[in-house]
Amino acid sequence: MSGKKILLDHGSGGLASQQLISDLFLKYLDNRTLRSLEDSAILDNKPGRLAFTTDSYVVDPIFFPGGDIGKLAVHGTINDLAMRGAVPYCLSLGLILEEGFAMDDLERIIISISEACREAGVPVVTGDTKVVPKGKGDKIFINTSGIGFVSEYVDISSKNAKEGDAVIVSGTIGDHGITIMTRRAGIAVQGDLHSDTMPLHTLVQKLLRELPGDVHTLRDPTRGGVATTLNEIAESSGLSIELSDEALPIRPQVRAACELLGLEPLYLANEGKCLAIVSGDQAQKALAVMQATAEGREAAIIGKLTAGKAGRVVINTPIGGARVVTPLHGLPLPRIC
């Protein structure tokens, strides 16, 4: 515990900034490109088309069971690339730090980022740090942009979902959302709740290799949960989606916490899961491929695309009834009624 804090000087570009870079960032994120510390990273071209994405991370709390804001930032951007079938190549890392932020916490996050990058095989090649006065930020905000390359033969998009396609989710739902929600004072519960944050690019590549042409859409159901993402897919493809309540994979702890607080797993964020829309006749094969991976062990077929009112998602209940699943309109909130 050093007790050292981030100062405005650390964002000024002067010696304090240089020191932060060499003592902290390069210590953990070191690679040839980053080390050169140029204004831009010059990269080699790869075959295929360029994929480019950006995301910002402002999660509170910044440390939570299963991860932290840094890990989330790396995985989130890798996954955005993977969802278009791109092989992630590299990341940028932009930090906005609040004056007074603990240096130890920053170090912990940078270590976490470096581990996530190393495990995923995707380096940070360029970065930036700014510091804002105390009260003008919330400890740390992170932006990661990512570049990847996608083969000429791969065309994955929400628009491509077809009637008869199966909806597969790569694992249990609601894990991340409920973990973050229950970290707040006044809503705390004890138990094994942890974020599911993880990179999915390896799983996706396996799926694309085994089922070329049959994977029509990939989406990661982050904010708004599976319900909101499926509504977007239904809307983009002009089709309806029919789900089965009984098929949804949910951890018992997640379900119990949701029951207690009046929340629904379908609407809670996931950070290590993807929805795959695949040709109906390849559904079982796709499921087997996913279940054979570490990331997709608990994958399940949860529904299908049907003709019908465009943009509509319904879920069939165990007694043979049905209800409409609308997208989330704001943040999910615990309730007593």
Partner 1 sequence: MCLAIPMRVTSVQGDPDDFTTNQIATVDADGIGRQIRLDIVDHWPAVGDYVIIHAGFAIHSLVEEEALKNIALLRELAENTPEELLS
Partner 2 sequence: MKYLDEYRDSSLAKPLVEELRRAVTKPLRVMEVCGSHTMAIFRNGIRSILPDGMELVSGPGCPVCVTSASHMDAFIGMADRPGVRVAIFGDLFRVPGSQGSLSEASSRGAKVEIVYSPMDALDLAINNPGELVVFLGVGFETTTPGIAATILAAKNSNIKNFVVFSTQKTMPAPMEALLSDPALQIDGLLCPGHVSSIIGAGAWEPLAKKYHLACVVGGFETADLLKSLILLARQIGTGDIKVENVYPRAVAWEGNQRAAKMVAEIFEPADMDWRGLGRIPLSGLKIRDKYAAFDAEVRLNITLPEAKEPKGCLCGNILKGMNTPRECPLFNSRCTPSNPIGPCMVSSEGTCAAYHKYGQDE
Angstrom distances, CA of residue 326 to CA of 52, 163, 169, 231: 30, 20, 18, 7
Q: Let me know: does 83 contact 156? Beta carbons within 8 Å.
A: yes
In 25-103, DSSP assigns E strands to: 49-57, 63-64, 67-68, 87-98
Distance CA 165, CA 239 (A): 11
The reply on whether position 135 binds partner 2 by CB under 8 A is: no
Q: Which of 185, 190, 209, 294 touches partner 2 by CB under 8 A? A: 185
The reply on whether position 209 binds partner 2 by CB under 8 A is: no
Angstrom distances, CA of residue 315 to CA of 173, 244, 305, 321: 15, 5, 12, 9
317 binds, among partner 2, partner 1, none (CB under 5 to 8 A by kind): partner 2
Shortest Cβ distance from residue 253 to partner 2 (Å)? 11
Nearer to partner 2, 77 or 229 (CB): 229
Where b means 16+ CB within 10 Å and e means fewer, 163-197 reads: eebbbbbbbbbbbbbbbbbbbeeeeeeeeebbbbb
Nearer to partner 1, 96 or 193 (CB): 193
With vertex at residue 95, the alpha carbon angle to CA 92 and CA 99, rounded to the nearest 5 degrees, is 165
Task: Name the residue among 276, 329, 336, 325 with its Cα closest to residue 302.
Answer: 276
49 binds, among partner 2, partner 1, none (CB under 5 to 8 A by kind): none
Distance CA 121, CA 170 (A): 21
The reply on whether position 324 binds partner 2 by CB under 8 A is: yes
Q: Which of 134, 262, 281, 288 touches partner 2 by CB under 8 A? A: 262
Q: Which of 1, 42, 294, 319 touches partner 2 by CB under 8 A? A: 319
The reply on whether position 191 binds partner 2 by CB under 8 A is: no
The reply on whether position 319 binds partner 1 by CB under 8 A is: no
Shortest Cβ distance from residue 22 to partner 2 (Å)? 39
Distance CA 230, CA 240 (A): 9
Shortest Cβ distance from residue 241 to partner 2 (Å)? 13
Instruction: Compose the 228-267 pattern: x for residues touching partner 1 by CB under 8 A, - for all others.
Output: ------------------------xx-xxx-xx-x-----
The reply on whether position 193 binds partner 1 by CB under 8 A is: yes
Instruction: Compose the 100-119 pattern: x for residues touching partner 1 by CB under 8 A, - for all others.
Output: --------------------
38 binds, among partner 2, partner 1, none (CB under 5 to 8 A by kind): none
The reply on whether position 190 binds partner 2 by CB under 8 A is: no
The reply on whether position 336 binds partner 2 by CB under 8 A is: yes
Task: Name the residue among 131, 114, 125, 128 with its Cα closest to residue 71.
Answer: 114
Q: Considering only the stretches 23-31, 151-159, 291-299, 326-334, report the one whose residues sit in contact with partner 2 under the rule CB under 8 A.
A: 326-334
Tell me the pairing of strands 300-306 and 240-244: antiparallel
Distance CA 56, CA 52 (A): 14
Shortest Cβ distance from residue 61 to partner 2 (Å)? 15
The rounded radius of gyration (Å) of the Cα atoms in the chain is: 21
Q: Which of 42, 45, 294, 329 touches partner 2 by CB under 8 A? A: 329
What is residue 153's DSSP assignment?
A: T
Q: If binding means CB under 8 A, how many residues of this protein chain bind partner 1?
A: 17
Total residues belonging to the chain: 337
Angstrom distances, CA of residue 219 to CA of 7, 192, 301: 39, 27, 15
Interface with partner 2 by CB under 8 A: which residues? 184-187, 246, 252, 255-256, 259-262, 309, 312, 314, 316-324, 326, 329-330, 333-337
Binding residues (CB under 8 A) for partner 1: these are 188-193, 252-253, 255-257, 259-260, 262, 335-337
